[in-house]
A and B are shown apart, each in its own frame.
Chain A
Amino acid sequence: KQEVTQIPAALSVPEGENLVLNCSFTDSAIYNLQWFRQDPGKGLTSLLLIQSSQREQTSGRLNASLDKSSGRSTLYIAASQPGDSATYLCAVGGSSNTGKLIFGQGTTLQVKP
């Protein structure tokens, strides 16, 4: 059974810092991995999708990497801003047939001005 873990559970940094959020998964036979952002009381916003054949994806100040063999992904946020404060969720897609996602518990990020 696939299990997804995110560390740390919470993180507080001053504005301007570069930071890394970690995601690990127990079964390396994944189809894709998706990073989401969730603001309080809101739905999920897709940030980046990495296919299993890819090593990384970039969007603006965000960079996500994937190492299937070690069961790890990282989300790198450059030059953090207070508007980046949110919960970041990692989700693993294990099947090419359904796309069902298995989620980690999330990392709650606070960026202080």
Chain B
Amino acid sequence: GAGVSQSPSNKVTEKGKDVELRCDPISGHTALYWYRQSLGQGLEFLIYFQGNSAPDKSGLPSDRFSAERTGGSVSTLTIQRTQQEDSAVYLCASSRQGAREQYFGPGTRLTVT
């Protein structure tokens, strides 16, 4: 596709349930990033993929958060046992390789009730 796409655009879930968020990067981009944007914390880095490997997971807030990338393309961010503080917009970005210009998707707005 022309840009980074994310699905779903909105997700409402009950506290304690697991959720999966999907990111489709720009074709040919080897680097993929997940960020989280919340009112209190601004925009925070979560994890970086180069190909299918994640050399930097330093931003994942707890072990309830995990992510994988397959085929050097699609990535899934999984949040287990969701908590209300997980409510935020989750943004995905990709770039041709690490440390290059990043292009962002529209985000997934997650609401935990």
Contacts and interface: CB of A to CB of B under 8 A. Distances in A.
Q: Range of interface residues on chain B?
A: 20 to 34
Nearest to A95: B99
Contacts, number: 64
Nearest to B100: A99
Interface in B46-83: 48, 50, 55-56, 58-59
A32 B106 contact: no
B33 A99 contact: yes
The B contact surface, by secondary structure, is strand
Contact of B101 (A49, A96, A103): A49
A5 to B, nearest CB: 11
A99 B55 contact: no
A99 B95 contact: yes
Contact of A97 (B55, B58, B59): B55
B91 A93 contact: no
30 contacts: A34-B101, A36-B104, A42-B107, A43-B91, A43-B105, A43-B106, A44-B91, A44-B104, A45-B104, A46-B101, A46-B102, A46-B103, A89-B43, A93-B99, A96-B98, A97-B55, A97-B99, A99-B33, A99-B48, A99-B95, A99-B99, A99-B102, A100-B48, A100-B58, A100-B59, A101-B102, A102-B45, A103-B42, A103-B44, A105-B42
Interface of A: 31-32, 34, 36, 42-46, 49, 89, 91, 93, 95-106
